Amino acid sequence: MRMFPNRREGMMAARNRLGLIFAMFLMLAGAACVNAIGQQATEMRTPKPPDAPRIHGPKIYGARPGHPFLYRIPCTGIRPIRFSAKHLPATLKLDRQTGIITGEAPEAHGEYVVKLEAANSHGKDSRTFKIVVGDTIGLTPQMGWNDWYTFYNRVTAKDVRSAADAMISSGMADFGYQYVDIDDCWARKPGSQDPELKGPVRDADGNILPNARFADMSGLVKYIHSLGLKAGIYSSPGPLTCARYEGSYQHEAADARRFSQWGFDLLKYDWCSYGRIAKDKTLPSFQAPYRKMGSILEGLNRDVVLNMCQYGMGDVWQWGRQAGGNSWRTTGDLGVVKGNVLPGFYSIGFSNAEHSKYAGPGGWNDPDYILIGTVGNARDMNAPARHTQLTPEEQYSYMSMWSLMAAPLFYSGDMTALDALTRNVLCNAEVVDIDQDSLGKQGRIVRKTDEEFILAKPLADGSLAVGLFNLTTAPRSITVNWRDLGVTGRQTVRDVWRQHDLGVYATDYSTQVPVHGVELVRLIPKKRL
Ligand code: GLA
């Protein structure tokens, strides 16, 4: 029930309504786009960021003592922007032009509260950034890009470089996308006759060798780092990767050392042929290879995030963190899931949402990558990448669900073919803030029926992010009661995608939700006067 207990709130709500009508007019007039079928005008939900600087990204960041440190301050606004940082630990230094912080994390465990500042000729902004030096890294879900669903077994160093360049030039990095990850197929392939893949898989000292498409791994990682971005690599605890390239079995420590020498910041460790090595299907067998790699990585002198990939076996969400994982895939590959009326990401999302209580700072449920924009076909890897068949509403639902689930946000489409809608879906600062929230809670399921799905995620500032998803093929009015959400009292309801307040509500909130779409709101408790 909506109410305006005083004149000011009533006027504000009226102004918000006028604002909304005006914004809708602008969107329809200027930012409307025609979908692939060429019929329907689509609203671009995310407003253009202001010309003045706005600092984005996580407000909390974990680093191990004395380890190399690299962080590019995500910031929108017209460049040049001048950056500064108050109370930056003495072991770190900021490049004021690029906003890249480098150096080593302090040796002493503790919390270092830094004030990041950015200014240009249009204005300025600041944001608190708490560096927590200790044992835990990955305090917020990782964000970045992974090549798999675009390049499969064709990936080259050049593709990865271009993706890193595009992460900067597209502005994605300004919203917090940071990791540039190489997936399978960078190593050599035992038994292959392909001149680019064949040859000894290791050198005389047992060091794993990249294939000819990745002739200079250190150079590639250095380049990624020079942009202020981080680099990820892939291996398997089995003798072979899923695509049958060299894996790390019996070379775990040497491979981890090599990855670290090359400068990698993340390892995706994919079960694959380890199935042949594991003695049985008991929990200790599922855990063994991850425990081993987890403790090796913890002993390195750089921070390497461990992205476990074993498709949820043995209820990995219950023990992934203890095994050293910073995230763990909870399901099989999203790209091969056949949707029915609802596209495949919904079923993956529904299942990932069940494990909300296991996610938290340092360890996240991973429902796989975001497949929108121009993207390859995992069921026919040789087919050229093409534009997603998901409707714009489905794409906004996808990104909303992943953010409410505090999922790692990895885009896996073609970075060099980012269109306006894809950027609009991936780059909404308030949506990303929900994913990256410092409290690190995964949204819980409030309602799941054949028609409606509701997720609610408590945030560090005491507000609550709520996603109302319409699973049907007709527009639908969805209502949620405060009782179901566990909140009481008057709440300012904010439309997160469109970034404006909708009004003050006392007991419930109802809204019209498009077909397969979402309305994502934030409930901000009104302070009692
Ligand atoms: C598995 C993983 C995918 C990808 C491929 C690579 O299928 O789940 O994410 O890494 O292997 O071969």
Helices 344-353 and 392-404: angle between axes, nearest 10 degrees: 20
Q: Residue 345: helix, strand or coil by DSSP?
A: helix
42 — pLDDT class (breaks 50, 70, 90): confident
Chain centroid, CA 357 distance in Å: 19
CA distance 57 to 162: 23
Q: Which fold has domain 54-133?
A: Immunoglobulin-like (2.60.40)
The response to whether residue 270 sits with its C-beta less than 6 Å from ligand 1 reads yes
Specify the ligand 1 atom closest to the Cα of 369: 9
Q: Bridge partners of 456?
A: 444, 466
The model's confidence at residue 527, banded by pLDDT at 50, 70 and 90, is confident
Q: Which residues are known catalytic residues?
A: 270, 333
Say what the pLDDT of residue 34 is.
40
What's the confidence (pLDDT) of residue 11? Answer: 37
Question: Using one digit for the tens of pLDDT, what is the confidence trace for 145-178?
Answer: 999 999 999 999 999 999 999 999 999 999 999 9
309 lines ligand 1 (CB under 6 A): yes
Residue (of 227, 200, 260) closest to 102 by Cα position: 227
Label the pairing between strands 500-505 and 491-495. Answer: antiparallel
> Where do the domains of the chain lie?
1-36, 54-133, 143-435, 444-525
pLDDT averaged over every residue in the chain? 93
Q: Is 22 a residue whose pLDDT tops 70?
A: no
Q: List Cα–Cα distances, 413 to 148, 339, 342, 372, 410, in angstroms.
A: 8, 19, 20, 6, 9
d(CA 234, CA 298): 17
Nearest Cα residue to atom 11 of ligand 1: 242
pLDDT digits 0-9 by tens, 448-465: 999 999 999 999 999 999
pLDDT for 4: 37
Please state the φ and ψ torsions of residue 290, each to the nearest 5 degrees: -80, -40
Dihedral sign computed on CA atoms, order 19, 20, 25, 28: positive
Evaluate whether 54-133 and 444-525 have a shared fold: yes
Please say whether the beta carbons of 310 and 286 come within 8 A: yes
Answer yes or no: is the C-beta of 148 below 6 A from any ligand 1 atom: yes
Tell me: pLDDT of 79 over 80.
yes
Distance CA 445, CA 365 (A): 15
Asked if residue 529 has pLDDT above 80, the reply is no
Q: How confident is the model over 289-343, as pLDDT tens digits?
A: 999 999 999 999 999 999 999 999 999 999 999 999 999 999 999 999 998 999 9
Locate the ligand 1 atom nearest the alpha carbon of residue 242 and give its number: 12
pLDDT at 41: 59
Please report, rounded to a whole number, the percentage of residues in the chain having pLDDT higher than 70: 92
**Residue 24: what pLDDT?**
42
User: Per mean pLDDT, which range of 40-54, 236-250, 309-323, 424-438 is the poorest?
Assistant: 40-54
CB of residue 183 inside a 6 A radius of ligand 1: yes
How far is it, in rounded angstroms, from Cα 105 to Cα 155? 33
For residues 115-130, average pLDDT: 98
**Homologous superfamily of the 444-525 domain (CATH):** Golgi alpha-mannosidase II (2.60.40.1180)
Spatial separation of the C-alpha atoms in residues 250 and 265, rounded to whole Å: 22
Specify the ligand 1 atom closest to the Cα of 311. Answer: 8
Gap from CA of 365 to ligand 1 centroid (Å): 16
Whether the per-residue pLDDT at 401 is higher than 90: the answer is yes
pLDDT over 60 (residue 1)? no
Greatest Cα-to-Cα distance within the chain, rounded to the nearest angstrom: 80
- 296 alpha carbon – ligand 1 mean position (Å): 22
Please give the full DSSP string across 502-513, using - where no structure is assigned. Answer: EEEESSEEEEEE
pLDDT at 132: 98
Lowest mean pLDDT among 36-45, 448-457, 505-514: 36-45
Span 254-266, average pLDDT:
98
pTM of the model: 0.93
Amino acid at 327: S
Fold that domain 143-435 belongs to in CATH:
TIM Barrel (3.20.20)
Q: Is 312 left (phi over 0), alpha (psi -120 to 50) or beta?
A: left
Q: What is the CA radius of gyration of the chain?
A: 23
- Written as six digits, the tokens of 471 are 């699973």
- pLDDT at site 6: 38
Mean pLDDT to the nearest integer, 79-88: 98
Q: Whose CA is nearest to atom 5 of ligand 1?
A: 242
Tell me if residue 289 falls in helix, strand or coil. Answer: helix
184, 271, 273: residue to mutate for ligand 1 pocket, most atoms within 8 A of CB: 184
